[in-house]
Structure formats: C-alpha cells, structure tokens
Structure 1
Amino acid sequence: AVRLSAEVCLLAAIKVCLLAAIKAGTTTIFDHHASPSALE
C-alpha cells in the first residue's frame, strides 16, 4: 500500500485545479486576503 503525504495530496490538488483553469481559458489567478492582520 502506498501512503501519500499531505504535501503530495496538496500539490496534486493544485495541479488538477490549475489544469482545469487553463483548459477553461483562465489567464489570471490571484489570492486575495480580506484579513491583512492575519499575515505573519
């Protein structure tokens, strides 16, 4: 049995989402934080 780490699962999920966005014609993706005080 192969065990996947949380990091590998996260990277796979990001890759799937990015490929879906590219296929749909998305040209820009950005991350918006509405809580500036939450930044380290």
Structure 2
Amino acid sequence: QTKAMSQDFCQKINQALNVPTNRTYIEFADAKGSMWGWNGGTF
C-alpha cells in the first residue's frame, strides 16, 4: 500500500509544485495516537 501511496503523493507534488519525483522523500511511520497533536490535545 505504501508504494502506491508514494507514487500518488510524488505525482501530485510534482504536478502542484514542480518538484521532481526523484527529489521527494516520504517517511511512512506507525505513530501511536499519543504522538499526534490536534485541537489542543492528542489522540
């Protein structure tokens, strides 16, 4: 699934910002909800 997501994200970034796909880096991580801040709190 991450391969397809990477292809999609890189293509969209390239089209919107003209950043070459070989210059775009994406980190996929499985972060716990407590590591995400939102609306003054965490998940």
Would you call these one fold, judging by a TM-score over 0.5?
Answer: no
**Alignment TM-score, normalising by the size of structure 1:** 0.43
Which has the bigger relative contact order, CA under 8 A and spacing at least 6?
2
**Alignment TM-score, normalising by the size of structure 2:** 0.41
Bigger-Rg structure (1/2): 1
Higher strand share: 2
